[in-house]
Amino acid sequence: MKGVDTGLADWSRIREVVEAVDVPVVANGNIQMPGDVERCLATTGAAAVMSAEGILYNPWLFADRNEESWIVAKEYLEYARRYQAGTSAIRAHIFRICHHSLLEHSDLRMRVSTEHGLDDYESIVEELRIRTRAVADTEDAQRQLNSARNLFERIRKGEVMMDPIEVSRAPYWICKPYFRLSEAARETIVADGEKTYKEKRQARKRERRKLNGQRTFISKRVSVTLNSLEGHVLAHAFIHTSIIFMHRRGFLHAHVVLSQLGKGVRTRSAKNVVDGLVSKNFGIVKYFAAHRLKYSQQLHDSVSVEEHKVQEAAET
């Protein structure tokens, strides 16, 4: 399972496999805390245990440590530099290792989603270190940390069951499990004045779509003429367009959404409907409509769009 469809693993199913085969079985599922290893082995009878998602959020899971996330991220980046890891892999691991910290520092989360150089990620982790130390050295933070350590130890010994709500209240600057909470659990967190996990996930997704921390939306009235294959004018109207400029890997793209062409003509696709040249300073833009539009039974209608000067709108 993946993403929001991820649920709790049923260890009894693993035991059934162990009892049915004569080869060593490695169990996986719900390995979020060190104590989960012993409980999984005892329940399943497996020869060994592995962790997938759990160890992404706390790479020192099997060492029974919950270090400050910047410490783990810094060590990871040392390996990334040594073995020349790709940007996509680095970004994915930093997002997970520093997951809870980045939820608190949205500007750094934004930078993680847009930067492309290893030096940039090292700079982000260094800034996270500075901010963490400013918070973690306070008396209140130390009390939170001691309480979390006591909770984790009790969970490890099996004295208490792991409660996602309690674990989520542990200091955000340490590596700890990530839970996809139930609706009831989300409401409990909201009652404490915090954002729901769903809202935070949505916020992260929005930030990943931004380039260099921003997205530019431009609305313009554009004169559009829709022609048939024979050249007859089928529709002519002024329409409003929403233009989204995104800069990714050195290329500037313009996705133009044609809202309506008069006489009920609408676009078939909300993206990539226009192919054109865009100047980086939002100067004169000439658009040539692609083959995405249809009118009546005509399958290859063409759309001509006049040249217009695009004005930069407020950034969101």
Q: What is the pLDDT of residues 64-85, one digit of tens each?
A: 888 999 999 999 999 999 999 9
Contacts of 15 by beta carbon, 8 Å cutoff, 6+ apart:
43, 44, 45
Q: The whole model's pTM is what?
A: 0.56
Which comes out higher in pLDDT, residue 297 or 100? 100
User: H helices of the chain, where?
Assistant: 11-20, 34-44, 53-57, 69-82, 87-97, 99-104, 106-114, 118-136, 139-157, 164-168, 183-191, 197-209
Is the four-CA dihedral 165, 102, 106, 136 of positive or negative sign? positive
Are the C-beta atoms of residues 304 and 287 closer than 8 Å to each other? no
Say if CB 316 and CB 215 are below 8 A apart.
yes
pLDDT tens column, 82-119: 999 999 999 999 999 999 999 999 999 999 998 888 99
Query: Phi, psi at residue 93, to the nearest 5°?
Result: -70, -40
The rounded distance, in Å, linking the Cα atoms of 146 and 141 is: 9
**Ramachandran assignment for 250, one of left (phi > 0), alpha (psi -120 to 50 degrees), beta (any other):** left
pLDDT tens for each residue of 184-199: 344 454 444 445 556 6
Q: Which of 276, 100, 273 is nearest to 197 (CA)?
A: 100
CA distance 37 to 83: 30
According to DSSP, residue 311 is labeled P
Which of these ranges, 3-7, 110-114, 219-223, has the smallest mean pLDDT? Answer: 219-223
What's residue 198's pLDDT?
A: 60
Instruction: Please check whether residue 49 is in contact with residue 2, taking contact to mean a CB–CB distance below 8 angstroms.
Output: no
